Amino acid sequence: MRKVAWLGCGLLLFLALSSCAPGPNSVEKTADTEGKIAGFWLGLWHGLISPITFIVSVFSKNIDIYEVHNSGSWYNFGFVLGAGLFLQGGILGSRRARKKR
């Protein structure tokens, strides 16, 4: 009976997490109206400014956090890296110097 309960909890957790997965980006790797596609560097920049952009996007209908006309995985990598750098160093981490006694 215990295995069934754990299996049920695991299934519910899986369904809850997978229901939050985003759908496909149908305009990925297509140019915007100016003929540009956002790549790694623009993704890095958008990630760095994402907290500020989020606040602006709450009050403006013309501002989005994420550029949908992007190059795919490289833009996503830059965005996540930039957001991580803004939030306490991200994958680079932050260490405090220890005091020597």
| pLDDT tens digits, one per residue of 1-44 | 788 888 888 888 887 777 766 666 777 778 888 888 888 999 99
Average pLDDT over residues 67-86: 88
Domain boundaries, the chain: 27-101
The pLDDT value recorded for residue 40 is 93
**Cα–chain center distance at 20:** 13
- What is the secondary structure of the chain as a DSSP string? -HHHHHHHHHHHHHHHHHTT-----TTTT---TTS--B-HHHHHHHHHTHHHHHHHHHH-SS--SS-SSB-SHHHHHHHHHHHHHHTTTGGG---PPPPP-
* Lowest mean per-residue pLDDT among 22-36, 46-60, 69-83: 22-36
In angstroms, rounded to a whole number, what is the distance separating the alpha carbons of residues 44 and 90? 13
